[in-house]
């Protein structure tokens, strides 16, 4: 009788437990077209579609955890997120042995951007301020900052950087191609911002928690399938 009681209590506990979700980190300063964040919730954008498609492929409900950029590392250390995406090894200061890297999923092209089509050469710019995103690391820009040739003017996200450039706060900014295309989409050609030089190209992937209660291998396979099938490229095409 005692064994039956214990078994029933265990069954009741399992029955009442919330189903396992697939927990994605979402940086609160991401902007369109990467992510639309409304009232503290991820509701759209490239990464919303990628996350949703990944969760569907492994049969789990996606859960989006909105975090300040500085707290994503801490979330990984606590294993409170399952996937950290839109990241590259060069962008992380720590090693996370409990997480496995996916295949590269897309490439981010960072551009030197101006209001005109004037030629651009980052290393030859005269001393000035340049528009950047708060918390972003730009390896090619770093020696120019350290020498004092250039100074950063940080904004909270990429859209704000481009708006400040458009308003004439500085002559140049650094923007990824996705954000620039989105910003220019509905503008007449005369008002569009111009990419004048490729600063860097970075292959981006996801880090996936390797845990007993998570189908890690299936998640990695799902991400690879989304890439190989062309689904990620189709998602990106919706935002160009």
Q: How many Cβ atoms are within 10 Å of 29's Cβ, its own excluded?
A: 18
Q: 10 in a domain, yes or no?
A: no
Question: What is the span of the domain harbouring residue 185?
Answer: 108-201
My answer on whether 96 and 115 are in the same domain is no
Interval 208-236 mean pLDDT:
97
DSSP structure class, residue 61: E
My answer on whether 99 and 215 are in the same domain is yes
Name the pTM for this structure. 0.86
My answer on whether 165 and 194 are in the same domain is yes
Q: What is the CATH number of the domain that holds 60?
A: 3.40.190.10
Give the N- to C-terminal CA distance of the chain in Å, as an integer. 66
My answer on whether 89 and 132 are in the same domain is no
108-112, 116-120, 148-152, 220-224: lowest mean pLDDT where? 116-120
My answer on whether 119 and 159 are in the same domain is yes
Q: 9 in a domain, yes or no?
A: no
Residue-wise pLDDT tens digits, 188-218? 999 999 999 999 999 999 999 999 999 999 9
SS3 228: helix
- For residue 172 the two structure tokens come to 């140049």
Q: 155 in a domain, yes or no?
A: yes
Predicted local distance difference test score (pLDDT) of residue 18: 67
Residue-wise pLDDT tens digits, 59-71? 999 999 999 988 9
The more confident residue out of 163 and 1 is 163
My answer on whether 97 and 148 are in the same domain is no
57: left (phi over 0), alpha (psi -120 to 50) or beta: alpha
Q: 6 in a domain, yes or no?
A: no
My answer on whether 191 and 227 are in the same domain is no
């Amino acid at each position: 009788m005692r064994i039956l009681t214990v078994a029933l209590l265990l069954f009741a506990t399992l029955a009442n437990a919330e189903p396992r979700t697939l927990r994605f980190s979402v940086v609160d300063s991401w902007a369109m077209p990467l992510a639309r964040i409304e009232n503290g919730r991820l509701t759209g954008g490239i990464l919303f579609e990628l996350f949703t498609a990944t969760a569907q492929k492994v049969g789990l409900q996606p859960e989006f955890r909105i975090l300040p950029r500085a707290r994503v590392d801490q979330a990984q250390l606590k294993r409170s997120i399952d996937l950290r995406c839109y990241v590259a090894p060069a962008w992380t200061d720590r090693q996370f042995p409990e997480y496995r890297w996916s295949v590269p999923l897309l490439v981010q092209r960072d551009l030197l951007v101006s209001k005109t089509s004037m030629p651009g050469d980052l290393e030859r710019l005269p001393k000035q301020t340049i528009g950047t995103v708060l918390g972003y690391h730009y390896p090619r820009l770093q020696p120019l900052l350290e020498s004092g040739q250039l100074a950063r003017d940080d904004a909270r996200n990429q859209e704000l950087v481009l708006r400040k450039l458009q308003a004439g706060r500085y002559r140049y900014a650094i923007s990824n191609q996705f954000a620039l295309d989105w910003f220019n989409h509905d503008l007449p050609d005369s008002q569009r911002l111009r990419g004048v030089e490729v600063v860097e190209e970075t292959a981006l992937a996801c880090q996936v928690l390797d845990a007993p209660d998570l189908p890690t291998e299936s998640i990695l396979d799902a991400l690879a399938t989304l890439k190989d099938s062309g689904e990620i490229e189709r998602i990106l095409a919706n935002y160009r």
